[in-house]
Chain A
Amino acid sequence: QKEVEQDPGPLSVPEGAIVSLNCTYSNSAFQYFMWYRQYSRKGPELLMYTYSSGNKEDGRFTAQVDKSSKYISLFIRDSQPSDSATYLCAMSENKAAGNKLTFGGGTRVLVKP
């Protein structure tokens, strides 16, 4: 079993819809949670960074963390074709472990005009 599970998709939605992305994890030592967006043949771009259970909002993006269920989500409101990309969740532990990130496998999202 992988430490971080993420549905690979592809997830296809019409423009304007809400995109819902999820990751589950098994390592209870994970304390910090990130979402990255990666366009084809480009480097990952940090979207959201959270470290506590609950919701964090930034523009059209909302990150949700439920540490008791070991589950995180990213919601994209009013999705645009430019949101078409692969979304990677990533997590790290709260210790001097080299700040190592454990990534999910990535979910490919396609927003159709």
Chain B
Amino acid sequence: DTEVTQTPKHLVMGMTNKKSLKCEQHMGHRAMYWYKQKAKKPPELMFVYSYEKLSINESVPSRFSPECPNSSLLNLHLHALQPEDSALYLCASSQDLGTSGRSDTQYFGPGTRLTVL
């Protein structure tokens, strides 16, 4: 099973709202990722977690706050977003970070389509 699930599928929020996106995988993967994808563009990496610790933050604004409560779950907390933050937010997971000299394949979830009004 290579399934990554994300909730909600769609989210509409105002600029003053606080909301959270959730991601879950049960493949025993120890690395999890958040990506942002704008229309007709490739995914852009936001955050990487490895063994529940933040490994990479790609200079993402603080209005996006990731959290990894356990090895199966990844959250993205949203606060005071801007309309330009509207996008498809993708979660991915991989066995590890490829630290054993190989790359580890990333499996993506279906995404949450976020609209900021």
Binding site for B on A (CB under 8 A): 8, 31-32, 34, 36, 41-46, 49, 51, 88, 92-94, 96, 98-101, 103-106
Q: How many residues of B contact A (CB 8 A)?
A: 32
Shortest beta-carbon distance, B113 to chain A, in Å? 7
**B106–A42 CB distance below 8 A:** no
Shortest beta-carbon distance, A8 to chain B, in Å? 8
**A98–B48 CB distance below 8 A:** yes
A93 to B103, CA, bound (A): 7
**A99–B90 CB distance below 8 A:** no
Q: Which residues of B, 97-116, contact A by the 8 Å Cβ criterion?
A: 97-99, 101-111, 113
6 additional A-B pairs beyond A51-B102, A99-B103, A100-B48, beta carbons within 8 Å, are A41-B88, A42-B111, A43-B111, A45-B108, A46-B107, A92-B103
Binding site for A on B (CB under 8 A): 2, 4, 6, 31, 40-43, 45, 48, 50, 55-56, 88, 90, 94, 96-99, 101-111, 113
Which of A8, A32, A34, A96 has the largest count of B CB atoms less than 10 A from its CB? A96
Which of B43, B88, B109, B110 has the largest count of A CB atoms less than 10 A from its CB? B43
**B42–A34 CB distance below 8 A:** no
**A32–B48 CB distance below 8 A:** no
**B42–A88 CB distance below 8 A:** yes
Shortest beta-carbon distance, A21 to chain B, in Å? 14
Which of B48, B50, B98, B102 has the largest count of A CB atoms less than 10 A from its CB? B98
**A105–B41 CB distance below 8 A:** yes
- Picked from B42, B97, B107, B113, the residue with its CB within 8 Å of the CB of A98 is B97
Residues of A within 8 A of B56 (CB): 98, 100
A34 to B104, CA, bound (A): 11
Shortest beta-carbon distance, B38 to chain A, in Å? 12
Give 18 CB contacts A-B under 8 Å: A36-B108, A42-B110, A43-B4, A43-B110, A45-B108, A46-B2, A46-B106, A46-B108, A51-B102, A93-B103, A96-B97, A96-B99, A98-B55, A99-B106, A100-B45, A100-B56, A101-B45, A105-B42
